[in-house]
Amino acid sequence: MDRLEEHIAAAHGEIEVDLLLEGAEIANLLSGEVQRADVAVNKGFVVGFDACSARQVIDLDGLVLTPGFIDGHVHIESAMVTVPEYARAVVPRGTTSVVIDPHEIANVWGMQGIRYMLDSSRDLPLDVCAMLPSCVPATAMETSGASLDASDLAGLMEDERVLGLAEVMNYPGVFCRDHAVLEKIRLAGTKRIDGHAPGLSGRDLTAYIAAGIGSDHECIAIDEAREKLCQGMRIMLREGSAAKNLRDLLPLVTARNARRFLFVSDDRHPADILKEGHIDFMVRTAIEEGLDPILALQIASLNAAEYFGLRGIGAIAPGYRADIAVLDGLEHPGVVKVLKGGSVVAEDGCLTARLKSIPAPKKTAMNIGKIGADSFRIMAGPGVARVMGVVPHQIITRSLLLKPKTAAGQVVADVERDILKMAVVERHKGTGNIGLGLVQGYGLVCGAIATSVAHDSHNIAVVGVDDEEMLAAVLAVKEMGGGLSVVGSGRVRASLPLPVAGLLSERYMRDVAEGIDECIDAARDLGCALEDPFMTLSFLSLPVIPELKLTDMGLVDVRSFRFVSLFL
């Protein structure tokens, strides 16, 4: 009897099944009902709702079964751990599938980085599918470690785990019909193309969608999300660590349109995953905000499965794979057990499945040019300066016009008005590029902090009060092969090595989270007022998110997509 015949026989009640999940209620996301039924599983697939006999019976009386959660858009690199370690953290929280965009590591290591992420995700209790990075580099306004065009991506587009083209950040390149951008869109063919278009509206938005771009995760306001929804986009409800948009957008979700939404984490730091959760946290939050539990669970699984064409997951029904999260209820659901392909892989918050890992490529992640304290010197200019204004809990900035403090013909930090120096040091090709700017909102009264996690090209970003300590912070990152550093009073107060591409650690997520906390605490001791200064710093160099950003090449006005001078 081949597998097809066995499935039919098991569903027909003719043979003993492998597993019967007994006594639970099922969140039926296809019918929109909660039903009391047993679930029969054979060879990893659901084959019905009863069985004549089963080799194993698991009593789940009083619990609720729902399909395993799907993260529709995530950069695992933002969790700063390898893929197996990421699985260890999110699978016990009910996530059984993720759609990754590996453009962070691709901007450092190119195709080798993408292949490393895919290779290291095999044989895990977590399905890892990928969207191929569309923007390596994100723009021509920064120096990245690699550049990938359509011909580079073509070889991977046919991989069965590649679902399409990841977030198209260069939205002006779409409606201005840039050849390189359109070639990547054509490469995707009938596969999905994800969007990234903060604030895009009107005819520009219409042209962007007409190119075949089907989703967006950058909405921060209801009116923006409504316009995109009405023009056919799926709206990805994001609750990351820096960008938290879920509560703001939930009022847009209704019973009539809920099937057009997905939950995504985008960029979520280790501490948030460990303390709050992953997609399970978004489900709980949505329900607490008044969303019907069934709608919340549809957004958490079925919607993503259908959007990406992931056959056989996203529901509990005959023919669907038995990827199941067992919940302790629907009002404030917690995950108590997780099944992947019919096997229990996590229980009571701990992974029970064994993990396989592969060694990371032995490749340098730090290649900076000659640098000294005078590299951070900013000569005073006439009038006001353009200053990046930090917006708490968002990755956007405000473009402020402020008169900087000067001394001996140079711009110096103004701690009374919280205007500090910032620099972005190129670290891939040894060009010696250093972009210089000013930022308000950090609160440092002394010292400096630096990171090699700086979206999307991941050069070294540093902010500080003193040029010498900015230099020391950058050199500390270089010596670790990448990571986070905090310098104060002439010494390194805290650091976290990230030796894999300057982005990832091969340690446990809990250890990484503790290292980040130590760095954040050290930054607070220097006066920093931000909840997570390193996450904020990592986005200050992203020149596709409004309004004003800094790269190794200079200051970028994102609204006009051009370099601007520091002084107006």
Taking alpha carbons only, the member of 243, 185, 239 closest to residue 214 is 185
- Respond yes or no on whether the N-terminal peptide bond of residue 456 is cis (omega within 30° of 0): yes
Cα–Cα distance list, 516 to 320, 449, 475, 509, 532 (Å): 40, 12, 18, 10, 9
- Structural domain harbouring 483: 373-564
Judge whether 273 lies within some domain.
yes
Residues 293 and 399 in one domain: no
Judge whether 381 lies within some domain.
yes
Residues 397 and 301 in one domain: no
Residue 358 pLDDT = 85
Tokens representing 547 are 């309004």
Residue 10 pLDDT = 87
Residue 168 pLDDT = 95
Query: 198 vs 393, which has greater pLDDT?
Result: 198
Residues 484 and 381 in one domain: yes
Tens of pLDDT, residue by residue over 149-170, are: 999 999 999 999 999 999 998 8
Is residue 242 over pLDDT 80?
no
Residues 523 and 434 in one domain: yes
Residues 238 and 380 in one domain: no
Tens of pLDDT, residue by residue over 402-440, are: 999 999 999 999 999 999 999 999 999 999 999 999 999
Residue type (1 letter), 548: L
Overall number of domains in the chain: 2
Residue 139 pLDDT = 84
Tens of pLDDT, residue by residue over 330-342, are: 999 999 999 999 9
Is residue 75 over pLDDT 90?
yes
CA angle 249, 253, 258 (to 5 degrees): 130
Q: What value does the mean pLDDT of the chain take?
A: 95
Proportion of the chain above pLDDT 70, given as a percent? 100
Chain-centroid distance, C-alpha 504: 14
Residue 120 pLDDT = 96
Is residue 363 over pLDDT 90?
no
Judge whether 7 lies within some domain.
no
Sign of torsion over alpha carbons 205, 206, 207, 209:
positive
